[in-house]
Structure 1
Amino acid sequence: MVLIALGQMRRRPAAFVGLAVALFLAIATLTLFGSLFAADVTTPASVRETTAGPGLMVIAGAFGEIAVMVAFFVVVNALGFALRQQHHELALLRTIAATPRQARRLVRAQVFTTTLLMAAPGWVVGVATARRFLAELQRLGVAAPGVRVPVIPAPLLVALAATLAVGLAASAAAARRISRIAPAAALTASSTEHGRTGTPRRLAGIGVLVGGALLLRLAATRPPEQADKAGQAALLGSLVLLIAVALMGPVAARVLTTALGAPVRALAPGAGWLADANLRGYARRLSSAVVPVALLVGLSGTMLVMTSTAEHAANSTATSVTSATDVWLRQAELALLVCFAAVSTLNTLVAVTAERRREFALLRLVGATRPQLMRMLTVEAVLTTAVGVLLGAAVAGAASAAFSTAVTGSPMPSVPVVACWFIVAGAALLTVPGILTTGLRAVNGPAAELVGGGRD
């Protein structure tokens, strides 16, 4: 089974690039914080006590909690698209007598192999980043000069085990649909999309939404002196709300696209009408493209607005060292979260657009030209960006309001308008060129051959 998995990976390396990058980032992140924990544990108490402050383990735990959750979110998303790009091949295997168990074993073997390939580079980058992180904390005076990051296998083994556990669990869920239906139906399902969101998924989305609201309420009720706890609860609440967006994405995307589609059809009657029809007709595909954009905007927007609000409400008795440390930690966490969200956005958009080669070929056969298809894709890219930005902004607004209520007593946070526009511009620069670049490649080639041969 491992040999078959390797053959699939060699045949379609593009399907596994995004998954490999996501697994690499997850292993590196877990190794980073595991190494910091190990540095704190292996340092004598007499050395740790030479510096006042919360301690390296507390800082690493508070810093890494959200980053690790986002890393796993990105891994699950990337794995789903890696399997989606192989849906046709897995369906063919089912038609030639491959059992559901064999299909699931093949998927597990791919995840296991890719994770092992990313283990060594992830460990190297994780340890190097941990040393840089510790050096910066020592420069700021919140970590003792004598603390060192030990080169031991424990952080890597923990990172590898946790990443494998998440990857295998996600692969089991992703492969369940293709492995449980009849072989002929599996082949048909590989090129179709269900029109409705299932009841279990809707119920799960509602439950997660309620959980996110409770976390924001918890953040809003923290006293001002517990601003750090309020910030962690608000940031965690924003991530939970984004998971709810992922679960309820098709419904939310269809509603927003319907609202935005009317002016688009009026401004661009031809390409706008076709793009709007495509997005509303394939709400699940649109949701897949929108969620990572919302993740990017929601998390980065929440971090920026919370940081601005905290700076405006800062206690005048805070020491300059504490203030500098807080600012640096927030900037480092923001950079890490943006990196994860950007990887997820690019991977998803490239995968979603690349798998539409047959659709584009059919449109060309009925008379659409390449320039017309590119205009349609441009409108789709703009609409996708707008829907993702709106969903992310709604999450960031709710989380920031909860944090502001705890810190200032008012639900109106301090919004850095210029920085927020940079986030929107960054989302657009990732989304629109990503879709158009992949789309330009997807619309090329002989249309009749692509339609007849199915997926390339």
Structure 2
Amino acid sequence: MAAIALGQMRRRPAAFIGLAVALFLAVATMTLFGSLFATDVMASAATPGATAGPGLVVIAGVFGEIAVLVAFFVVVNALGFAVRQQHRELALLRTIAATPRQTRRLVRGQVIATTLLVTAPGWGAGAAAARRLLTELQRRGMAAPGVRVPGTPVPMLVALAAALAVGLAASAVAARRITAIAPAAALTASSAEQGRTGEPRLLAGIGALVGGVLLLRLAATRPPEQSDKAGQAALLGALVLLIAVALAGPLAARVLAAALGAPVRPLAPGAGWLADANLRGYARRLSSAVVPVALLVGLSGTMVIMTRTAEHSASGTATSVASATDVWLRQAELALLACFAAVSTVNTLVAVTADRRREFALLRLVGATRSQLLRMLTTEAVLTAAVGVLLGTAVAGAASAAFSTAVTGSVVPSVPMAACGWIAAGAAALTVPCILATGLAAIHGPAAELVRGGRG
């Protein structure tokens, strides 16, 4: 099984590169904030009663909580996609007598190998980021000037253990769709996408939606003097709502794609019709592409709007949120979250489009030209970006409204239109070129050989 697992990783490098980057970010993030906790603990041990700074533990806890959750969200999304790309091969293994336990062991082996591969670079990046962040906090008076990041390996080992635990748990969930059904049914399911979202996934999506709404209600009912806590609850609620979008993604993506694709058909009778049919017919694939875009827009939009709302609040209790130091922290958090979301977006879009090589070859065999395929891909890319931006905007709007209710008493937040426009443009700038560049590479080569070669 070890040899097969490594062979699959070599055969589909695009999917596992995305998983490796996601795990690298998770390990680096946990090492970063774990090192900040260790700094405060070591400072207290060296001088009883002293701390590394008035805000160091708060920053490491509150700031790190969201960042680590987003990192793990990206890991689970990347792993799920990597397993889906192997569905046919894993189903074939089932038909030649591989047991469900062996199949799960294969997926676990891939997760462990990928995690160990990125652990050392993740440790190094996290430790360097911790030293840099501590220096910046000391410059702003939020950390004692004499403290240093300790050389203890504990944060690194905790980061590795947590990354492995999340990866292994996610691998069990991701492999379930293949191992829970008969081998012949698994092979049949690998050749065509399921028509509807499974009931367990849909119920989990509904549960996440309810949880997100409750978190936003908690944010909205915070008193004005607890605006920082309201902001954290709103941001966490936005993340939970995005998890709900990921779980119920195929259904939501199909509905939005149908609404946006309807006017495209008469505008572009050939490429538009085919693009619309592809997006609606392959809702799972569309959901895989849309969720990272929604993550990027939803989290970035929430952070930007909350910061502007706090700055424009007339209440004196919001001064801590609107202070220069807090704005800097929120900008740093925004940069980190946007980095996670952007990496997830690029990885997923490249892998999703590259996986359609055989589909493009079949279209070429029935008479489609490369220029027609590029027009189809362009239309799909624009619609994909639009669906992702709309979903992300809906999440950001709900979270920002909850925060605004707590800070200003009004459900209408202060929206920086220019900044939000740049976020939407940035999402489109990531989505469209990624799909087109990968599509250009995927449509090259002899079509007949690509069809015989199967997927990948």
TM range (shorter): over 0.9
Q: 1:30: Cα distance to partner?
A: 0.3
| Aligned match of 2:343 | 343
| Aligned match of 1:125 | 125
Unpaired segments ≥5 residues, structure 1: none
Check the 8 A contact 2:254/2:283 in 1, yes or no.
Answer: yes
1:392-431 to 2 correspondences below 5 Å: 392-431=392-431
Find the aligned partners of 1:111 and 1:202 in 2 and give their Cα distance.
26
| Aligned match of 2:210 | 210
Find the aligned partners of 2:377 and 2:66 in 1 and give their Cα distance.
34
| Aligned match of 1:253 | 253
Change (3 A) 1:184 1:50: closer
Aligned identity (percent) is: 82
Number of equivalenced pairs: 456
Q: 1:320: Cα distance to partner?
A: 9.2
Residue identity in the other structure for 1:275: A
Find the aligned partners of 1:445 and 1:320 in 2 and give their Cα distance.
59
Find the aligned partners of 2:154 and 2:322 in 1 and give their Cα distance.
31
Using structure 1 for the length normalisation, give the TM-score: 0.96
Does residue 103 in structure 1 map to residue 124 in structure 2? no
| Aligned match of 2:379 | 379
Using structure 2 for the length normalisation, give the TM-score: 0.96
1:136-155 to 2 correspondences below 5 Å: 136-155=136-155
Describe the SS at the equivalent of 2:323: helix
1:184-203 to 2 correspondences below 5 Å: 184-203=184-203
Q: 1:221: Cα distance to partner?
A: 0.6
Residue identity in the other structure for 2:357: R
Find the aligned partners of 1:131 and 1:247 in 2 and give their Cα distance.
37
Check the 8 A contact 2:14/2:350 in 1, yes or no.
Answer: no
Find the aligned partners of 1:60 and 1:314 in 2 and give their Cα distance.
29
Find the aligned partners of 1:46 and 1:85 in 2 and give their Cα distance.
52
Does residue 174 in structure 1 map to residue 164 in structure 2? no
Unpaired segments ≥5 residues, structure 2: none
Change (3 A) 1:52 1:446: closer
Check the 8 A contact 2:22/2:78 in 1, yes or no.
Answer: yes
Describe the SS at the equivalent of 1:148: coil
Describe the SS at the equivalent of 2:143: coil
Check the 8 A contact 2:225/2:318 in 1, yes or no.
Answer: no
Q: Deviations over 1:311-339 (max 9, x none)?
A: 11265588899822201110110001000
Residue identity in the other structure for 1:105: R
C-alpha RMSD of matched pairs (Å): 1.9
Bigger mean CA offset, 1-10 vs 79-88:
1-10
Q: 1:94: Cα distance to partner?
A: 1.9
Describe the SS at the equivalent of 2:445: coil
| Aligned match of 1:75 | 75
Find the aligned partners of 2:320 and 2:279 in 1 and give their Cα distance.
51
Find the aligned partners of 2:266 and 2:453 in 1 and give their Cα distance.
37
Q: Deviations over 1:235-281 (max 9, x none)?
A: 00000111111111112111111211122112211111111111111
Find the aligned partners of 2:325 and 2:93 in 1 and give their Cα distance.
55
Q: 1:92: Cα distance to partner?
A: 2.3
Describe the SS at the equivalent of 1:269: coil
Q: Deviations over 1:279-319 (max 9, x none)?
A: 11111211111111110000000000000111112655888
Q: 1:52: Cα distance to partner?
A: 10
| Aligned match of 2:266 | 266
Change (3 A) 1:142 1:321: farther
Find the aligned partners of 1:321 and 1:66 in 2 and give their Cα distance.
17
Check the 8 A contact 2:310/2:321 in 1, yes or no.
Answer: no
Q: Deviations over 1:69-99 (max 9, x none)?
A: 0000000011112112222222222222221
Find the aligned partners of 1:341 and 1:451 in 2 and give their Cα distance.
33
Residue identity in the other structure for 2:305: V
Q: Deviations over 1:355-405 (max 9, x none)?
A: 111111111111111110110010000000001101100000000000001
Bigger mean CA offset, 117-126 vs 76-85:
76-85
Find the aligned partners of 1:322 and 1:352 in 2 and give their Cα distance.
41
Check the 8 A contact 1:123/1:156 in 2, yes or no.
Answer: yes
Check the 8 A contact 1:48/1:143 in 2, yes or no.
Answer: no
Bigger mean CA offset, 6-15 vs 248-257:
6-15
1:329-368 to 2 correspondences below 5 Å: 329-368=329-368
